[in-house]
Structure 1
Amino acid sequence: MTGSFLEVVCPDCENEQIVFQNASTTVNCAVCGTTLATPTGGKADINGEVADIVEAR
């Protein structure tokens, strides 16, 4: 796989959500709707704090 999954903390409500690093669509917070990731054609722009990188199992 060419990307990683990131655990991102929402800047508004502090909800933690898993986001694909190379997201091809806009990812919104499941709780408050704030944009967490915006696609750029490669790695997505992450708009929250990256708390952890989720390891492949």
Structure 2
Amino acid sequence: MAGQFYRVTCPDCENEQTLYGKAASDVACAVCGHVLARPTGGKAVFEGEVTETITRQNHA
């Protein structure tokens, strides 16, 4: 798998968003605009609380 997705809770408005773990640019909250993820050249640094790791499910 190339990368994972994470469910992150915004520290300002508590909105939950699904974010890619290797974000290439800042990812802002869709509700309040708070930056939830910052790129590092590899795995992103999350500003909010990671509440779930979303794994890929193979469907037959």
In the alignment of these two chains, the number of paired residues is 57
Displacement of 1:53 in angstroms is: 0.5
Displacement of 1:2 in angstroms is: 2.0
Partner of 1:9: 9
Relative to the length of structure 1, the TM-score reads 0.95
The runs of at least 4 aligned residues of structure 1 exceeding 6 Å deviation read none
Q: Which has the larger radius of gyration?
A: 2
Instruction: Tell me the amino acid that sits aligned with residue 27 of structure 1.
Output: V
Relative to the length of structure 2, the TM-score reads 0.90
Partner of 1:35: 35
Cα RMSD, aligned residues only: 0.7
Q: Unaligned 5+ residue runs, structure 2?
A: none
Give aligned-pair identity as a percent.
Answer: 53
1:12-44 CA-partner distances (Å, limit 9, x unpaired):
000000000010111000000000000000000
